Structure 1
């Protein structure tokens, strides 16, 4: 409790207090009430950053959770032959995110990157882009990198859950004439519903916490096309020296994440009552 109070509770209370002040991090503070919050609601860059993170979360639910679930289904069906595949797919999770971002910045490089080279090799030169330098492609490019990293993480969770599905249930479905795809979606997935719900919650809350991938790959650019709340408030608080305003944005983002978690738990409780 002492560690929690010092490392978590104390900074949270301090951030809440700073949000009501105008302070550069040095010198005296000036109490401004809710001015920072009203300014945040009028800040188009900050409001747009929530739209960007919503798109990012929606994309990662597909690229991370659904792809991870599909990979786990394929590997679970192979059982004894899947060890090396699981290791290969999980390897990106073990890499530091900064290293991943630097590697993919070379892949996306507009002059000598692998992405444009591959498109040129198959005769699709018209699809070549400066992937991280164009507003229309930058956010999608970051989402692909995130999917490449975390699909293996969710695959490991789903694979462990699928291994716990009783064989008797699967055999009964086969005797009823169900195909492997039907067994997967109508038998296995409902049985591991708790794992799916937990992964969705992790994906949503983790999306709001994203920072390093965006910071290294685009730093919010180009033209704020990939600006998300964490990168923007970090720039405001530590680069622009507006600690009070940055704290207000941090409080607003925290409230939104907590609200999303509460809504998820309420929907889960309602579904459990309905199922019962």
Structure 2
């Protein structure tokens, strides 16, 4: 039997080339350059001085940079509560009461469709200490002692910004959970009702366990979103007051563009990438371990 030799064809490579080129120019090359710049002391214009790991050593002694990770941790914990769990409760309430559910879904999902810049300026007006809506409402109901400079108080600024994120994305996760709940067979609900289960029993013992994978994905998105957060913090507080809302992304932008320290900013970005990769790997291993124990 004679085997036919396959002729080499360049056509597949020509079709793939534009995508590979675009990926290289927009993602791969910047990553490699950022890693390379992290070993230099460079302001972006002058001479590049090789300093080895000095930028990395400096990062671990930078109080503001280390504090920014604590702020991200607070932000992630609060967004998981405000976005994921509130979205889960909203999805449960909507599926319990079908009347007007479409209107409620639209109302809760509308903030997601607004640009974050618009949302940031809107809530800056709400939080304004002089003529803001929040303080005006508190004054009108006799709670003058609760009024404060929300975005200017180091104790409350991080919570004020985080609440805005929860207001925006709770409806987004609600929609995801609602779609997952809709896929659960009605036979399970009917059997539970026959056994005397209430709506809340069904929600906690049937609906949530059946969409557990969606909840895990949502929590992971919150974790990654915490490290990617920028525009909300940049517009509302820009890391202030007194660095009380400084996160890694806002601090890196200040180091690179305000201080003109390209090398040090690159080192900070590399460290953040390593932290994110470590969290992703750890989460994946924990998920596999959890899945294995459930199978056992």
Normalising by the residue count of structure 2, what TM-score does the alignment of the two structures yield?
0.92
Q: Quote the residue 2:192 is aligned against.
A: 173
2:130 aligns with one of 79, 98, 111: 111
1:73 aligns with one of 92, 106, 110: 92
Q: Quote the residue 1:199 is aligned against.
A: 218
- The Cα RMSD (Å) is 0.9
User: Displacement of 1:80 after TM fit?
Assistant: 5.2
Q: Does the CA contact (< 8 Å) of 2:96 and 2:199 recur in 1? A: no
Note the 1:1-276 alignment, pairs <5 A: 1-79=20-98, 81-276=100-295
Cα deviations by residue, 1:209-260 (Å, 9 ceiling, x for unpaired): 0000000000000000000000001100111100100000000111111111
User: Displacement of 1:81 after TM fit?
Assistant: 2.3
Number of paired residues?
276
- The CA distance in 2 between the partners of 1:182 and 1:121, in whole Å, is 40
User: Displacement of 1:182 after TM fit?
Assistant: 1.5
* Higher Rg of the two aligned structures: 2
Q: Any gaps of 5 or more consecutive residues in structure 2?
A: 1-19
- The CA distance in 1 between the partners of 2:193 and 2:175, in whole Å, is 25
Q: Any gaps of 5 or more consecutive residues in structure 1?
A: none
Normalising by the residue count of structure 1, what TM-score does the alignment of the two structures yield?
0.98
Cα deviations by residue, 1:47-76 (Å, 9 ceiling, x for unpaired): 000000000000000000000111111112
User: Displacement of 1:167 after TM fit?
Assistant: 1.0
